[in-house]
Amino acid sequence: ASLSDGAITVTAFVDEDNMASDSATLVPTQQSVKAYVDSQVVAQDDGIVRAAITADSSASTFTIGAIPSVSGRNYFANKAVLKVTTAFAGGSVDGFKITDNESSETTYITAAQADPTVTGTYVLDLGMEALTSGTTLQLDAVQSDGSTAAVATSGAVTVTVEYVYNT
């Protein structure tokens, strides 16, 4: 049996979560449509990497998150928001850097632009700096020279990096 409106003839219903048959005559179940949409939404890029970081005398470098790696896309760092909720102390900490984990270690913010020893929210323009596809961004606690690692004994910050991409 089939159903037709004169232009389209439906031949069957199908339970197919990936829509692989790509048919003009099959109607997917509600569950199949939901499963397909959910799988596509999960795969979308929201343009944000974020991490909550707490210093505890064990490290000077903290992972923020990875930039996606999608063929044909160019990624650019837009802005960073650092919300210092507990002032950093110890280890001669005087600033932050946001870098990538590539061998060239591109620096996106420098120590002078955010003071981890004072609570507050810092919004930093990253100047649409090109990001390496698939790179992992990290927050480095540094001393006053902006490059020497500092291992803070205490402190907490939430770091959000916003990025955009084009194809």
Helix, strand or coil, per DSSP, at residue 113:
helix
pLDDT above 90 as % of the chain = 49
Which pLDDT band, with edges at 50, 70 and 90, does 111 fall under? low
Give the span between the Cα atoms of 29 and 148, in whole angstroms.
Answer: 59
Helix/strand/coil percentages in the chain, nearest 5: 10, 50, 40
Which pTM does this prediction carry? Answer: 0.70
pLDDT band at 105 (very low <50, low <70, confident <90, very high): confident
Angle at 95 between CA 92 and CA 101, to 5 degrees: 110
120-137 pLDDT, tens per residue?
A: 999 988 889 899 899 999
